[in-house]
Structure 1
């Protein structure tokens, strides 16, 4: 599905831009602990951007709602996991850390759905 390829490319772009911003724009402005949190968000966003690209490519070969669900769960995971960590890093509002595991669960669900879809249809 073209949409997941586009979303993957957009999030890869965002991960590169926010990685550079974190390395050059935030250094010395937020505590080192939060710079590490920022980097974790960038890393997970990039890995899952690549996952969206793979899902988009596979969606052209596998006609299954499992692939679509996998893509949407991965997209939600990026927003919830990485998004919450980006906001946590700059605001240092620790309550935001409660959102992060929901994004992590969405990532896990997306990978399981992808495994099942590929197993059933390829």
Structure 2
């Protein structure tokens, strides 16, 4: 798996979704919905940048891809649930969001554990 390429795709998607949020949904979204969209896009950006770094560490053989997988799946679940609610999905969809957030936290903790174990880091 090429995590640098996946990170770049995440970042491109974050830019596109950020622009869509700023221009495409502004006319119909409530302030609360705009906040959901903004939060989802911020998390896409931050975690895309994080995956870029993790991708580099994987290529250097310093860590395995477990943290990357956890973070990628987590950010997809987290952001997708917020985007869906913004676009009209029922509010109970928000119950899915913490699953994604938990996976992201676990991914970062996994990376921390791997860094502590790695003599190269």
The normalised TM-score by structure 2 is 0.93
* Residue matched to 1:94: 91
Classify the secondary structure of the residue corresponding to 2:101: helix
Match of 1:72 among 69, 87, 99: 69
Which runs of 5 or more residues in structure 2 are unaligned? none
Which residue is 2:51 aligned to?
52
- Residue 110 (structure 2) pairs with residue 113 (structure 1): yes
Question: How many residues end up aligned between the 2 structures?
Answer: 119
Answer yes or no: is 1:11 the counterpart of 2:17: no
> Which one has a larger percent helix, Structure 1 or Structure 2?
1
Extract structure 1 runs of 4+ deviating beyond 3 A: none
RMSD, matched Cα: 1.2
Q: What TM-score results when the alignment is normalised by the length of structure 1?
A: 0.92
